[in-house]
C-alpha cells in the first residue's frame, strides 16, 4: 500500500467544496476510520472483514460534473457548488477526479467566449451552458462529453465540436442535454448527439458495457472490478441457478455473474439504463440475461405472488436502501443466497435488520470496499444465506 498524500496539506477548496471530508487524514487513517464505522454499524451482524483500499487512491473518479456560472465580477467560472449553496467554487483540477476530464472542462471554459456561448445565470434564468459532464471508459479510453444547456439552440455547435475534438482527440462522443428546469438535478430529459454515438463503452471483469449519459455506472472502475468479483464470489454460483439482479443499472453485476448461472433477470427503474443493459447482454453474446424496467419492490412482490423462486438475489439499491415491499417479498421468494451491495452502511444496517429479524437468513460475510477515497462514503458487500 502506498500513501502518497500526507493529509496535512489539504486541497485549497477543501472547506468550500466539502467533497473530500477525510482530506486531513492520511489514506491509512481514512481506511481505519471507515473500518471502525463499518464495525459500529454492521458489527452486530457478524465479523467485518478488513476494508479493501486502493493502491493509488487519487484521480479515481471516471465521471466528473462541473457547474458553470458567472462570478461576482461576471467572469466565467467552472467547478463545484459550494456545499449547501448555489455558489460555484472554481476548480480546475481535483485530486480525486480523472485528470483528462478536468483538462477538457478547463478547455471548454476557455473556448466559450470565442464561440459566443453564454453561461447560464440561475438568478434571472438567462444564458445557456449550465454543466459539463464527462465520463471516461477506464479500459477503453473512450470519452463522453455532455453539455447541459438551458435550450437546444446552439448556433456555433459545428465549429465548437470541431475545435474541441481537435484539442482533445480522445473525445469519442459529444452530447447536448437540455435542462430547462430549476433545481439540483443535472441532466434534463431531452438530448441531441452532436458527435459520435451518444454513449461510451467500457470493459469491466472481461465484459463490455455501453453507458449512456443518464445511466448509473460505478465511478471508480478499479475498485468496481474488485467489488463485483467479491459479489459474484459470494454468490457461489454452480451454473444451474436463476439469478435476480435487483437495481441492476446497465446490467453490470448480472452480466458479470451470467457465465456461472442458468439465467439472469435484472430489474431497474431507469429506462435508459435498462435499454443499455439489454444492449450489453447482446454485446457480450449472452442469451441468458433479461432486463426489465420497473420498481424493484413491485417486481419482487409480483415474483412472490406468482410463486417465482430466484435461487440467488443480488441487490444493489441506491443510498436510501431498499424498501419494505422489496424486503418482505424477497423473504417470501426464499432464495438460497442474497448478496447485498450497498453504498451506505446505515441504510444497509436497517435493511439487514429486517432481513434477519425472523432468523430465516443469516449474515455470513461482510466485506467493505473503499470505492470513494478521501470521502466519508464506503461500499459494503454482504452475503446472507438461508438458514436450513
Q: If we measure between CA atoms, which residue out of 132, 123, 135 comes closest to residue 105?
A: 132
List 17, 94, 205, 343, catalytic entry? 343
Q: Find the binding residues for ligand SAH in span 26-65 (CB under 6 A).
A: none
> Does 78 contact ligand SAH by CB under 6 A?
no
Residue 265 binds ligand SAH (CB under 6 A) = no
| CA-based nearest residue to 216, from 172, 251, 169 | 251
Let me know how long the chain is.
388
Per CB under 6 A, the segment of 153-161, 169-177, 192-200, 246-254 that binds ligand SAH is 246-254
Binding test (CB under 6 A) with ligand SAH, winner from 173, 270, 329, 333? 270
- Residue 372 interacts with ligand SAH (CB under 6 A): yes or no: no
Show the binding pattern over residues 190-219: x = contacts ligand SAH (CB under 6 A), - = does not: --------------------------xxx-
Residue 88 and residue 78: Cα distance in Å, rounded?
7
3-state secondary structure of 7: coil
**CB of residue 104 to ligand SAH, shortest distance in Å:** 24
Element (H, E) at 231: helix 221-235
Q: Which three cell numbers stand for residue 339?
A: 448478496
The one among 97, 241, 316, 370 contacting ligand SAH by CB under 6 A = 316
Sign of CA dihedral 162, 168, 170, 171: negative
249 binds ligand SAH (CB under 6 A): yes
Stretch that binds ligand SAH, among 107-115, 168-176, 266-274, 368-376 (CB under 6 A): 266-274
Compute how many residues bind ligand SAH; rule: CB under 6 A: 18
Cα separation, 51 vs 64, whole angstroms: 25
Q: How far is the CB of 340 from ligand SAH (least distance, A)?
A: 11
Cell, residue 16: 468550500
Catalytic residue at 94?
Answer: no
φ, ψ for residue 353 (rounded to 5)? -60, -45
From 48-56, 139-147, 310-318, 370-378, give the range in contact with ligand SAH by CB under 6 A: 310-318
Query: Can you spell out the DSSP letters for 29-75?
Result: HHHHHHHHHHHHHHGGGSPBPPPB--SS-SS-BSEEEEEEEE-TTS-
Q: Which residues are catalytic?
A: 343
Positions touching ligand SAH (CB under 6 A) are 216-218, 247-249, 252-253, 267-270, 273, 295-296, 316-318
Amino acid at each position: 500500500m502506498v500513501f502518497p498524500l500526507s493529509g496535512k496539506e489539504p486541497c485549497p477548496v477543501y472547506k468550500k467544496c466539502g467533497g473530500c471530508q477525510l482530506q486531513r487524514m492520511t489514506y491509512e487513517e481514512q481506511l481505519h476510520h471507515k473500518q471502525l464505522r463499518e464495525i459500529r454499524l454492521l458489527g452486530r451482524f457478524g465479523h467485518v472483514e478488513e476494508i479493501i483500499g486502493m493502491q493509488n487512491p487519487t484521480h479515481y473518479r471516471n465521471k466528473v460534473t462541473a457547474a458553470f456560472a458567472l462570478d461576482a465580477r461576471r467572469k466565467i467560472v467552472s467547478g463545484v457548488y459550494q456545499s449547501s449553496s448555489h455558489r460555484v467554487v472554481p476548480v480546475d483540477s481535483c485530486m480525486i477526479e480523472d485528470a483528462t476530464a478536468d483538462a477538457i472542462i478547463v478547455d471548454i471554459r476557455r473556448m466559450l467566449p470565442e464561440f459566443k456561448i453564454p453561461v447560464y445565470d440561475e438568478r434571472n434564468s438567462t444564458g445557456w451552458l449550465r454543466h459539463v459532464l464527462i465520463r471516461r471508459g477506464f479500459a477503453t479510453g473512450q470519452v463522453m462529453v455532455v453539455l447541459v444547456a438551458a435550450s437546444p439552440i446552439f448556433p456555433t455547435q459545428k465549429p465548437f465540436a470541431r475545435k474541441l475534438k481537435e484539442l482533445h482527440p480522445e473525445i469519442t462522443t459529444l452530447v447536448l442535454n437540455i435542462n430547462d428546469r430549476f433545481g439540483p438535478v443535472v441532466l434534463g430529459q431531452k438530448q441531441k448527439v452532436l458527435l459520435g454515438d451518444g454513449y461510451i463503452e467500457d470493459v469491466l471483469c472481461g465484459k463490455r458495457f455501453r453507458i449512456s449519459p443518464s445511466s448509473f455506472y460505478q465511478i471508480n472502475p478499479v475498485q468496481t472490478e474488485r467489488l463485483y468479483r467479491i459479489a459474484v464470489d459470494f454468490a457461489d454460483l454452480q451454473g444451474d441457478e436463476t439469478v435476480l439482479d435487483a437495481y441492476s443499472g446497465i446490467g453490470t453485476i448480472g452480466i458479470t455473474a451470467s457465465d456461472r448461472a442458468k439465467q439472469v433477470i435484472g430489474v431497474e427503474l431507469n429506462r435508459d439504463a435498462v435499454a443499455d443493459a439489454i444492449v450489453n447482454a447482446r454485446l457480450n453474446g449472452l442469451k441468458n440475461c433479461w432486463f426489465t424496467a420497473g420498481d424493484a419492490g413491485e417486481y419482487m412482490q409480483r415474483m412472490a405472488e406468482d410463486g417465482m423462486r430466484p435461487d440467488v438475489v443480488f441487490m444493489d439499491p441506491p443510498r436510501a436502501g431498499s424498501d419494505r415491499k422489496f424486503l418482505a417479498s424477497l423473504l417470501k421468494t426464499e432464495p438460497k443466497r442474497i448478496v447485498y451491495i450497498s453504498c451506505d452502511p446505515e441504510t444497509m444496517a436497517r435493511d439487514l435488520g429486517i432481513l434477519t429479524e425472523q432468523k430465516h437468513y443469516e449474515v455470513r460475510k461482510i466485506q467493505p470496499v473503499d470505492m470513494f477515497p478521501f470521502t466519508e462514503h464506503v461500499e459494503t458487500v454482504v452475503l446472507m444465506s438461508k438458514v436450513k
